[in-house]
Amino acid sequence: MNLSRRIVLLALLIMLALLGLEGFSLVSTSHFERGEEEFVVVGLIAYLIIISGPLAHYTGLPVAAIELSMGVLASYYLVPRTRALDLLAGIGANMVLFMAGAEIDVVLLRKRLRSAVSLGALSIIGPIIIALGISLYYTPDLLVLTLAALVATSAALTYAILQANGLVRTRTGQTVLAAAMFTDIIGIILLNIATSGANPLLLLYGAIIIIAILIQPLLSRIEGLQFETEIRLVTMALIVLGAATEFLGIHSVLTSFILGIIVSETLRERRLLREKLEGMAFGFFAPFFFVTSGLMIDPSLLVEELILVLAVGVGVFMFKFIPSYMYLKRRIKSRRAAALYASSLSPLLTVTLIAAQIGLDSGIFDATMYVVIAGSALATSILSSAVSLIMRVRSQYLDRHFF
């Protein structure tokens, strides 16, 4: 597709999004009866989600970044957060963390443990310094949650990009993926530390995880049953165990992440089940989470704090990019192009947005802090995509640089 046609299509899609939001503004001036506003808002967000897919395709940005941007645009048009939207977004957050846990290849992580720990440790030094600076500027109480938001790398997005370019099985790709898994795990642990108080009932958490481990073998025995039994088992486990752990004082996303790790090996063997779960998670629930994350951003604060947002976003990206490139080039002996490309796959995304939402809803973060954290996640996603695009453009035959 030539550039002019791509620009025309992008302009058309943006115009359609704006028309939908303008239509909402006109309708919202009328009086809504009970339940009507819920229906209209969810319908509008669903409309924006549909447009986000083609926009992501034509811009080359991750669809999650486009959905986050759509949420910011909806916030500008004063689209409210409703209970139905929050419910869908909450399920989406748990589904996203479950699928992120499912990307954790325990065998690969064990095989590349030394490289994963080394590269992961190098990549989180900079974010730790930035988190310390932010917490000292605001209040030290923000430190642990800010660390959780900034140290994690989106392992699911890293895996998807590596797989799309045929790099998952290369040494460079496996090292970067293992490091992303390691930092994701660190981020989830920090997130739980930041949000869990002292509670004797936490002792029951181990029992809940043991139950999940005992349920896991059932997945290999129920293939072929009617009514998508395996999908129901997974989703009900997420809902029930997530609710139980919320009662124990642990955020449900931690349980979702652990459940994903527990069933990861089964999902790798059961490709059809994995595809069904991915379709449900990223095709329906996850977009509501990402759009809602953007909807919680105050556009006026984003403009006011734009320099700080860019400084944090660019700082985190460069602090992850440079050590990764040097490690891959010197220790893994990766080719220069491979090292540059793989080092760019370090965006903040899922864990960062979840940490920001939890921080805002719990009162740990104020609206400004939320804007800084969520905005930096968007900035790193755009930077990561830009570097990847530049590398693809420079290499007419990409495979020659990696194999």
Classify burial at 267, counting beta carbons within 10 Å of its beta carbon; exposed 0-12, middle 13-18, buried 19 or more: buried
Record the pTM: 0.83
Outline where DSSP puts E strands in 173-322: none
Query: pLDDT at residue 387 above 50?
Result: yes
What are the phi and psi torsion angles at 222 (to 5°)? -110, 10
Query: pLDDT at residue 199 above 70?
Result: no
pLDDT digits over 2-57, tens only? 667 777 888 888 888 888 888 887 776 566 665 677 788 888 899 999 999 888 88
DSSP calls for 42-101: HHHHHHHHHHHHHHHHHH-S-HHHHHHHHHHHHHHTTPPP-HHHHHHHHHHHHHHHHHHH
In sequence order, which residues have a C-beta less than 8 Å from that of residue 28 and are 6 or more positions away?
A: 37, 40, 78
Domains, the chain: 3-401 (1.20.1530.20)
Across residues 323-340, what is the average pLDDT? 78
Query: pLDDT at residue 316 above 50?
Result: yes
Query: pLDDT at residue 289 above 60?
Result: yes
C-alpha–C-alpha distance, residues 209 and 212, integer Å: 5
